[in-house]
């Protein structure tokens, strides 16, 4: 009798260990009924066949109705603005867009969208997708192929943001906003930013140091690739099926970062910094340089900040022997294959990317517009002092690898780079290990 | 005694029952709702997770899946990352539960003594338990963040606590002890309060010292409560997720069975592998809880017989 109770109790309590995993997966069964085999040519890598294709003319007079636009928590107010401006303009014609806000965390937004798509739900007709999710969503056939629409107006965008929706030879969304990192420098310590990363680290050693995001998370992947790409490094080869990460250029870039920590140009604590800690360090006034996204320009200029009015921003410098680079952030609007009104969805995406609203975005919400002309307007230049630098930063920036297994690729990079920064492994070993892990990620079923 | 009287009651009225629903059927019907509930909330997720763990679901091609047998398990078990997580989880569990037991016992004994302000003490001691784990983690992160956290300021050091091994794991253990020792204390206090006072009086009359009373009366009679507390805490500790997730992102020697399962399942969407890792955790948790009840439970009986 006692033994029976024991087994039962053990079963019941340990069941808890499984519940979380099982709940997350319950919706996946609907999309995975076909078993066996799996040797079709499409599983090889970069082809997506049989996706629904958008008809560009469908946005001219779509059926009347309401669609839902999903995005992360509207912290800037831009989401509410785009929806209300669209509704104002088109209410008379019977079109309406409703804003659905997801949590602020990017992981949560991705999870929420995935769950809806797996359930074939039309909760989100249009979704504001982070630039790194496009390939994954496209390969699952959750997105309309937008190539015919994008081809009509390809030249109006800054080229780099458009690359973030480019996967398997097709365009899977319309750029909404972009973002790129700046090098923040102290105007009270020097007049011009150094021209190369090497010079930045040399200067930093004398001027209090440089702070950046070195904690093991997506931010570190960006921070590292900014140097790696500038040095001439790559992540994937041109076929997109093999790692090209293990290169002398990437090792050189990592060596510079590791040496920076060793000789005090960067504090050892950067290995635990995400954006908030970086801002905290920068506003303490101790450091000479910071790498951060555009938001920090305004966010770090508060009355409690010890660097208020004492800094400027510059596009990221070049790597000696290489060139200039950067990593693109931002969001794209993608259209769900489960929408009942693709025409209206496209009309909304088109409105978001229109010159008028793009200017509003930059002017009112300090979000990086994806249309270059926006930056040269005189009122923009007045309101956003760093507008020319931002446009330059966007032009030199590159997209992160576009791949359905991007999360694994990014983990391989940030975990190993973090190990090297913390001094646990040599830069060469870290790059090699990351490259091996990228290759095994690419061979995921 | 009770069982016998129930049987008698049943035996006196067999006639009336036989006209309505047979007793056996009635029993099944009355138990059915709870059985169905258990099936929905416990059995289904377990069976479903096992089912998932025996398949592979393509990350690249929509809707493609295949039977994998035990490949997900062999992949997990041949991955050094899994063994590293297993080791971190074990160290975390053993050290944190042991510390929580000792501190919790001390707290419970203090709270059990009658004195002025006893109510206040009980409330204050419980505060950490009332704080959400994620909030705890953020709080500890703020304390230990380098170089501005107050720990470095107080100690006058520049240590990168959360970025070094084994400091990061030690901080996670401390945060867990801080948060859950009160829970341990609460469970043990409940055990203390059901020990009748007469036993102590009798022992005093027989000339037992304070230590003898503690070792010979309090501890043995407290064993069932301690066992329950230990099981709860051990199983919780084996599934630790939120503290490493917030404090260190599972880096610097702090990955655990749950953080790597979550990464495989939720972040990378490799459902088969993630489910296999969850099932492995489930099996480990089952073995541990079963051996607790089997071995430690046996000891209780022995002690009680003494």
The pLDDT tens digits of the residues spanning B37-73 come to 988 898 899 999 999 999 998 887 777 888 988 999 9
Tell me, what CATH number does B168's domain have? 1.10.3720.10
Residue A315 near residue A392, CB atoms below 8 Å: yes
| Same domain as A297, residue A261 | yes
B8 lies in a domain? no
CB contact under 8 A, B60 and A45: yes
**Same domain assignment for residues A361 and A411:** no
Q: Is residue B137 part of a domain?
A: yes
Domain that holds residue B166: 74-305
Beta-carbon-side half-sphere exposure of residue B130 (alpha carbons within 13 Å): 6
Whether residue A390 sits in one domain with residue A425: no
- Closest Cα partner for B213 from B222, B226, B200, B225? B200
CATH number at residue A160: 3.40.190.10
pLDDT reading at B28 higher than 60: yes
Q: Which residues of B touch A268 (CB under 8 A)?
A: 146, 158, 160, 163
**Mean pLDDT of all residues belonging to chain A:** 87
> Region A70-90: what's the mean pLDDT?
93
Chain B residue nearest residue A7, CA to CA: B290
Q: Residue A212: its chain B contacts at CB < 8 A?
A: none
Is residue A8's pLDDT more than 60?
no
- Are B61 and B112 part of one and the same domain? no
> With contact defined as beta carbons under 8 Å apart, do A13 and B235 qualify?
yes
Domain count of chain A? 2
Does any domain span residue B11? Answer: no
Query: Is A272 in the same domain as A208?
Result: yes
Which of A16-20, A30-34, A355-359 has the weakest average pLDDT?
A30-34
Q: How many contacts (CB atoms, under 8 Å) link A and B?
A: 186
Q: Are residues B301 and B166 in the same domain?
A: yes
pLDDT in tens, A312-323: 999 999 999 999
Residues 140-169 of B with CB under 8 A from A: 145-148, 158, 160, 162-165
3-state secondary structure of A215: coil
User: Do B221 and B274 belong together in one domain?
Assistant: yes
* Structural domain includes residue B5: no
Residue B274 within a domain: yes
Subunit contact B286:A271, Cβ cutoff 8 A: no
* Nearest CB to A11 within list B63, B66, B286: B286
Return the residue of B nearest to A43 by Cα.
Answer: B61
Q: Which of A9, A14, A444 sits opposite B282 (nearest CB)?
A: A14
In this prediction, residue A1 carries a pLDDT of: 36
- B251 compared with A21, residue with greater pLDDT: B251
Q: Is residue A383 part of a domain?
A: yes
With respect to residue B7, please indicate whether it lies within any of the assigned structural domains. Answer: no
CA distance A138 to B60: 9
Mean pLDDT calculated for residue range A72-84: 91
pLDDT-based confidence at residue A388 (cuts at 50, 70, 90): very high
**Do residues B51 and B141 share a domain?**
no
Once rounded to an integer, what is the mean pLDDT over residues B192-205? 89
In-domain check, residue B1: no
Q: Is residue A377 part of a domain?
A: yes
- A155 and A275 in a common domain: no
More confident residue, B252 or B243: B243
Residue count (chain B): 306
Is residue A412 assigned to a domain? Answer: yes
Confidence of residue B150 (pLDDT cuts 50, 70, 90): confident
User: Alpha carbon of B35 to those of A20, A63, A141, B138: distances in Å?
Assistant: 21, 50, 40, 40
Residue B236 predicted with pLDDT over 60: yes
Is A37 part of any domain? Answer: no
Separation CA A26–CA B148 (nearest Å): 43
Same domain, A319 and A250: yes
pLDDT 10s digits, A348-362: 999 999 999 999 999
For residue A444, name the pLDDT band (cuts at 50, 70, 90).
Answer: confident
Using CB atoms within 10 Å of the CB of residue A430, give its burial: 0 to 12 exposed, 13 to 18 middle, 19+ buried.
buried
Beta bridge pairs of residue A313: A184
Question: Span A385-414, mean pLDDT?
Answer: 92
The closest of A202, A205, A220 to A271, measured between CA atoms, is A220
Check if the beta carbon of residue B271 is closer than 8 Å to that of residue B35.
Answer: no
Angle A319-A325-A328 from CA coordinates, rounded to 5°: 150
Q: Are residues B122 and B235 in the same domain?
A: yes
| pLDDT confidence of residue A25 | 33
**Terminus-to-terminus CA distance in chain B, angstroms?**
24
pLDDT in tens, A155-195: 999 999 999 999 988 999 999 999 999 999 999 887 789 99
A10/B275 CB distance under 8 A: no
Same domain, B40 and B182: no
Q: Do A322 and A189 sit in the same domain of this protein?
A: yes
Helix/strand/coil for B163: helix
Judge if A392 and A412 occupy the same domain: no
Residue A126's φ and ψ, nearest 5 degrees, are -120, 135
Instruction: Answer whether residue B163 shows pLDDT above 60.
Output: yes
**B118 — pLDDT class (breaks 50, 70, 90):** confident
The pLDDT value recorded for residue B37 is 92
**List of residues 6+ apart from A122 with CB closer than 8 A:** A68, A336, A338, A339, A340
Q: Which of B60, B64, B162 sits opposite A272 (nearest CB)?
A: B162
Say whether both A250 and A387 belong to one domain.
Answer: no
Residues A291 and A431 in one domain: yes
Residues B144 and B224 in one domain: yes
Beta-bridge partner residues of A95: A65
What pLDDT is attached to residue A98?
96
ipTM summary value: 0.78
Global confidence as pTM: 0.82
Please indicate, yes or no, whether residues A164 and A213 belong to a single structural domain of this protein: no
* Cβ neighbours of B279 in A, within 8 Å: 18
pLDDT score for B8: 47
pLDDT of residue A86: 96
Looking at the structure, tell me whether residues B249 and B132 fall in a common domain. Answer: yes
Number of domains in chain B: 2
Whether A47 is in a domain gets the answer no
CA atoms of A435 and A416, how far apart (whole Å): 10
Give the span between the Cα atoms of A239 and A342, in whole angstroms: 32
Angle at A46 between CA A43 and CA A50, to 5 degrees: 70
- Tell me how far CA of residue A141 lies from CA of A53, A63, A345, B59, B270, in angstroms: 11, 24, 17, 12, 17
The pLDDT assigned to B299 comes to: 58
Asked whether residue B151 falls in the same domain as residue B258, the answer is yes
B67 → closest Cβ in A5, A23, A36: A36
Domain extent at residue A116: 56-179+329-396
pLDDT of residue B23: 86
B103 with B200, same domain: the answer is: yes
Query: What is the rounded average pLDDT of the residues A270-298?
Result: 91
Instruction: Kindly tell me if the per-residue pLDDT of B285 is higher than 70.
Output: yes
Spatial distance between the Cα atoms of B21 and A323, rounded to a whole number of angstroms: 86
Look at B93 and B214; give whichever has higher pLDDT.
B93
The answer to whether residue A42 is domain-embedded is no
| The pLDDT of residue B7 is above 50 | no
Is A372 found in the same domain as A435?
no
Q: Do A445 and B297 touch (CB under 8 A)?
A: no
Does residue B142 form part of some domain?
Answer: yes
């Amino acid at each position: 009798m006692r033994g029976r109770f024991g087994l039962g109790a053990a079963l019941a309590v340990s069941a808890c260990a499984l519940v979380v995993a099982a709940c997350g997966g319950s919706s996946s069964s609907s999309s995975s009924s076909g078993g066996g085999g799996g040797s079709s040519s499409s599983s090889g890598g970069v082809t997506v066949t049989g996706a629904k294709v958008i008809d560009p003319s469908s946005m001219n007079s779509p059926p009347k109705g309401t669609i839902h636009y999903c995005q992360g928590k509207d912290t800037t107010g831009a989401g509410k603005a785009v929806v209300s401006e669209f509704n104002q303009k088109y209410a008379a014609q019977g079109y309406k867009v409703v804003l659905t806000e997801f949590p602020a965390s990017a992981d949560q937004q991705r999870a929420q969208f995935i769950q809806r798509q797996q359930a074939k739900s039309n909760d989100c007709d249009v979704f504001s997708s982070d630039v790194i999710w496009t390939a994954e969503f496209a390969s699952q056939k959750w997105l309309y192929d937008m190539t015919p629409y994008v081809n009509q107006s390809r030249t109006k965008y800054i080229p780099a943001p458009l690359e973030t929706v480019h996967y398997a030879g097709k365009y899977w969304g319309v750029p909404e906003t972009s973002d790129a990192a700046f090098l923040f420098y102290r105007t009270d310590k020097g007049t011009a930013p150094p021209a190369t990363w090497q010079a930045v680290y040399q200067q930093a050693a004398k001027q209090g140091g440089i702070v950046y995001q070195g904690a093991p998370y997506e931010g570190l992947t960006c921070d590292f690739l900014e140097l790696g790409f500038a040095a001439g490094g790559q992540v994937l080869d041109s076929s997109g099926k093999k790692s090209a990460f293990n290169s002398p250029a990437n090792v050189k870039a990592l060596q510079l970062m590791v040496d920076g920590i060793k000789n005090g140009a960067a504090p050892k604590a950067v290995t635990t910094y995400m954006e908030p800690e970086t801002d905290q360090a920068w506003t303490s006034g101790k450091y000479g340089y910071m790498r951060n996204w555009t938001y920090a320009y305004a966010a770090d200029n508060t009355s409690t900040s010890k660097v208020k009015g004492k800094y400027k921003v510059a596009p990221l410098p070049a790597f000696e022997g290489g060139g200039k680079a950067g990593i693109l952030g931002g969001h794209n609007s993608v259209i769900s294959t489960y929408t009942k009104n693709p025409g209206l969805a496209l009309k909304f995406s088109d409105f978001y990317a229109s010159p008028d609203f793009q200017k509003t975005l930059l002017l009112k919400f300090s979000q990086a517009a994806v249309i270059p002309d926006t930056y040269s307007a005189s009122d923009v230049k007045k309101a956003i002092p760093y507008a020319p630098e931002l446009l330059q930063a966007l032009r030199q920036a590159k997209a992160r690898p576009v791949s359905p297994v991007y999360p694994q690729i990014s983990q391989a990079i940030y975990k190993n780079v973090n190990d090297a920064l913390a001094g646990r492994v040599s830069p060469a070993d870290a790059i090699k290990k990351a490259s091996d892990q990228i290759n095994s990620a690419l061979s995921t079923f | 005694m009770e069982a016998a009287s129930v049987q008698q009651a049943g035996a006196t009225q067999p006639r009336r029952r036989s006209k309505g629903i047979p007793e056996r059927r009635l029993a099944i019907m009355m138990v059915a709702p709870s059985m169905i509930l258990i099936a929905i909330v416990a059995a289904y997720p377990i069976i479903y997770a096992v089912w998932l763990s025996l398949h592979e679901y393509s990350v690249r091609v929509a809707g493609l899946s295949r039977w994998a047998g035990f490949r997900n398990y062999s992949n997990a078990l041949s991955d050094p990352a899994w063994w590293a997580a297993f080791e971190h989880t074990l160290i975390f569990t053993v050290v944190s539960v042991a510390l929580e037991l000792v501190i919790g016992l001390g707290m419970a004994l203090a709270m059990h003594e009658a004195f002025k302000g006893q109510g206040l003490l009980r409330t204050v001691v419980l505060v950490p338990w009332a704080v959400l784990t994620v909030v705890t983690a953020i709080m500890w992160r703020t304390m230990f963040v380098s170089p501005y956290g107050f720990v470095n300021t107080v100690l006058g050091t520049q240590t990168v606590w959360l970025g070094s091994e084994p400091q990061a794991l030690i901080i996670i253990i401390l945060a867990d002890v801080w948060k859950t020792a009160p829970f341990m204390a609460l469970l043990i206090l409940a055990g203390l309060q059901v020990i009748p006072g007469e036993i102590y009086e009798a022992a005093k009359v027989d000339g037992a010292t304070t230590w003898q009373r503690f070792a010979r009366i309090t501890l043995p009679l407290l064993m069932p409560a301690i066992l329950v507390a230990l099981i709860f805490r051990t199983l919780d500790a084996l599934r630790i997720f939120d503290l490493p997730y917030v404090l260190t992102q599972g880096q610097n020697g702090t990955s655990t069975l749950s953080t790597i399962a979550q990464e495989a399942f939720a972040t990378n969407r490799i459902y088969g592998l993630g489910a296999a890792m969850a099932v492995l955790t489930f099996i480990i948790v089952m073995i541990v809880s079963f051996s607790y009840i089997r071995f430690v439970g046996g000891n209780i009986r022995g002690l009680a017989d003494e």
